Amino acid sequence: MNLSIRQAVSSGVRLFFWSIGFFYRHLSLVLLSLIPSTFRFIQMWNGLNTPLWMEIAVESTRVALFLLILALMHRSGFRDVFDSKLWQRWQRSLKRELERNWPVTFLAQIAVFIIGLYVLMNTTLEWLLNPTFMKVYMALLGMKAYDYDQVYTAALFFLKNMSVIPLSMVYILRMLGAGVHVRG
């Protein structure tokens, strides 16, 4: 493998692990992620036969999560995301990152993103929710009779909303320069 390609892939892998650390190091992000996760669990448990306000709450919380991630990456307060200065800093950082990383590192980071966050994370979640493990989980919860498909779908959406979705936001924002050139 070409040295620059190897370095680019290494950059993507470092970003993958940095994203995991960043997200789970910030309790505010984890707690905020519980809101869409819980509502999505309820929605899926009920076959999406839930009030519209739940979907609005899920999507609104994701927007707030995105903005909070952005603020934390820039080491700013949440209010600063409504100030053009933060967006201008990000725009300058984005320009520098794209100039520095295009095309090899940028494409390698996208490849690591697809493989790491979607293939590995989704495969891991599906493995954790296989019927054998589900019997154990449900027994621990005291549920002897349950609909596996219903539990699987609800649990999968809960776990994705606690992992894949917020980690995707963190990874992509950082890849696009959010907070990369912030001092302090």
Range of the domain at 108: 3-175
Instruction: Say if 16 falls within a structural domain.
Output: yes
Instruction: Say if 90 falls within a structural domain.
Output: yes
CA pair distance 93, 72, nearest whole angstrom:
15
Instruction: Say if 35 falls within a structural domain.
Output: yes
pLDDT (tens digit per residue) in 136-181 = 999 999 988 889 999 999 999 999 999 999 999 999 999 999 999 8
Q: What is the pTM of this model?
A: 0.92
| Location of structure tokens 């894949």 | 164
Cβ burial 32-68 (10 Å sphere, 16+ → b, else e)? bbebbbbbbbebbbeeeeeeeebeebbeebbeebbeb
DSSP string, 31-59: HHHHHHHHHHHHHHHTTT-S-HHHHHHHH
CB distance 38 to 158 below 8 Å: yes
Instruction: Say if 124 falls within a structural domain.
Output: yes
pLDDT score for 166:
97
Instruction: Say if 152 falls within a structural domain.
Output: yes
Instruction: Say if 12 falls within a structural domain.
Output: yes
Instruction: Say if 160 falls within a structural domain.
Output: yes
Instruction: Say if 183 falls within a structural domain.
Output: no
Q: Which residue has the higher pLDDT, 143 or 81?
A: 81
Structure tokens at 145: 């009779």
Cβ burial 145-154 (10 Å sphere, 16+ → b, else e)? eeeeeebbbb
Q: Span 15-42, mean pLDDT?
A: 98
pLDDT score for 87:
97
Distance of alpha carbon 180 from the chain centroid: 18
Domain count, the chain: 1
